[in-house]
Structure 1
């Protein structure tokens, strides 16, 4: 049903694995680690322009707050007129709500695709999407510091110690990176306004700083080590990207 996601993700992963395997060897676990890392880097590079568009959207939305509050006051109790006035304001300001969600949508789709493709590898030693049977077997045999990339902490069994030594640090790093990335983003936001909108902003800030990192620790044990690598790389890029934007474009966050 989601082959339009699975095949492109599989193809990019195949491309990077083939490239690294040609240097490190077809059986190299490091080739798979680098392939997953570079899959994330490829995605995030493609999302740089949407990310900048998201910043433009956030800035425009902040500048529109006085008009938004006036619309709510003027059409209090009439949600239909409020919605119509909001649409007109967004159109006049050149704001497209979709641009605020494109980076999140893109990252979510790639996560779904990667998770499905890697989990499908474990269904059997046969061809899978663009991967041949040999590469599927190569992933199933691949290890990071002795722990299989396909292994989960919850299903570690007798290899619990080896898998935990790799999975737990990755979970902790991912959770800490998620927290500090969200914390840095919140620190750069203007103080939440009073009222319902401000309350929603404060709730989202709390969720992003504390609940989401806790979710990484909660669901980490059932995630393959390969997916934990994805999370760590994803959060490392986000943190670095925020820092670069904040330092280089502090005067104009929507610089081209």
Structure 2
């Protein structure tokens, strides 16, 4: 049903696996892990322009907060007129609220697509969404753009001894499907890889939230709803990753870590760029106003009409 997401995601993953597999070997676990990481980087690079517009939208919304509060106070008893005036204010300043949430809306189906494609390398489970294939049938069934050879390469790959498509909580039937492809991994081996990734992902989520909150305007920080969301981002979301980590496959944890690494770097790059643009614009405005203001003691420049002698 979501093939329009699954095929592009699997195609990008396939490309990066072929690239890293040519250097490290197709069955190398690091080749598959790097393919997941660079899949994330590729998608985030495609979303960089909307992300920059999102930051500009957020900055613009913060600047419009005083005017928006004034409109809310003026039309407190007339919701319809308030909506009209809000839309008028947004139109006057070229403000588009949709741009504030577009990158997050795009990333959600990408995450779902990556999870589904990676899960489809091991279809021997019997839970929800699983196909209960035999290990032999699973190893000989293509997975979207991945051929049978690619599926078997994925099953053979290990990251520090653990397949990247399993989680700490993976059922024994799923683990046993790897018997002919490098042996059945132990839960201890999977945990030794997954737990550090869980901790790194949780810490990265926390510090990204802290960096984002440090750039909030004083008005936004005083907003009760913003304060609640800030606490959720700082503490509840990272804790949620630690709690849900045992149920996430290693590849998804790799996705989460690499996504947070990109977010941290992107925040510094985008904010530094926008700060430079705003500083340059402020300097240009100041210089323009200074050039238009007469110097102390200087005569004001008269227009052509004023410069003509008076006719008697």
Q: Which TM-score bucket, shorter chain as reference?
A: over 0.9
Deviation digits for residues 150-187 of structure 1, max 9, x if unmatched?
A: 11011276712111111000000000000000001001
| CA apart distance, 1:192 | 4.0
Higher alpha-carbon deviation: 198-207 or 83-92: 83-92
Instruction: Extract unaligned runs of 5+ from structure 2.
Output: 124-137, 173-184, 281-312
CA distance in 2, matches of 1:194, 1:41: 31
Aligned to 2:107: 107
In structure 1, C-alpha distance between the alignment counterparts of 2:32 and 2:234, rounded to whole Å = 31
| Alpha-carbon distance between aligned partners in 1 of 2:70 and 2:98, rounded to the nearest angstrom | 23
| Conservation of the 8 A alpha-carbon contact between 1:56 and 1:254 | no
Aligned to 1:9, what secondary structure does the other structure show? helix
Q: Residue 243 of structure 1 aligns with which residue?
A: 268
Please say if 1:218 is aligned against 2:250: no
User: Taking structure 1 as reference, are residues 243 and 119 closer, same or farther at Cα in structure 2, changes over 3 Å only?
Assistant: same
Deviations 1:68-117 (A, max 9, x none): 11111111133222222222211111011111112112222211110011
TM-score normalized with structure 1 length: 0.92
The change in CA–CA distance for 1:71 and 1:106 in structure 2 (over 3 A counts) is same
Range with bigger deviation, 5-14 or 82-91 = 82-91
Distance 1:142 1:37 in 2: 16
Distance change >3 Å, CA 100–CA 193, structure 1 → 2 = closer
Distance 2:279 2:28 in 1: 42
- In 1, the alpha carbon distance for the partners of 2:167 and 2:221 equals 44
The aligned residue for residue 225 of structure 2 is 200
> Which one scores higher on RCO, CA 8 angstroms, separation ≥ 6?
1
Q: Which moved more, 1:202-211 or 1:19-28?
A: 19-28
Q: In the alignment, what sits opposite 1:183?
A: 210
Structure 2 partner of 1:60: 60
- Greater alpha carbon shift after TM alignment, 138-147 vs 217-226: 138-147
Larger radius of gyration: 2
Q: Which has the higher helix share?
A: 1
Taking a change above 3 Å as real, the CA distance of residues 111 and 194 of structure 1, as seen in their structure-2 partners, is closer
Q: What is the distance in 2 between the residues matched to 1:2 and 1:193?
A: 38
> Which residue number in structure 1 is paired with residue 182 of structure 2?
none
Counterpart in the other structure of 1:173: 200
Partners of 2:186 and 2:278 lie apart in 1 by: 48
In the comparison of the two structures, how many residue pairs are matched? Answer: 253
Q: After superposition, what is the alpha-carbon deviation per residue over 1:204-244, rounded to whole angstroms, capped at 9, x for unaligned? A: 11111111111111111111001100000000111112123
Matched, 1:84 2:84: yes
How far residue 23 of structure 1 moved from its aligned partner, in angstroms, is: 2.0
Misfit runs of 4+, over 6 Å = none
Of residues 166-175 and 125-134 in structure 1, the stretch that sits farther from structure 2 once superposed is: 125-134
User: Is the 2:75–2:81 contact (alpha carbons within 8 Å) kept by the matching residues of 1?
Assistant: yes
- 3-state SS of 2:146 partner: coil
Q: Which runs of 5+ in 1 are unaligned?
A: none
- Give the TM-score normalised by structure 2: 0.76
**Which secondary structure state, in structure 2, belongs to the residue aligned with residue 144 of structure 1?**
coil
Counterpart-to-counterpart distance in 2, 1:243 and 1:37: 20
SS in 1 for 2:17: helix
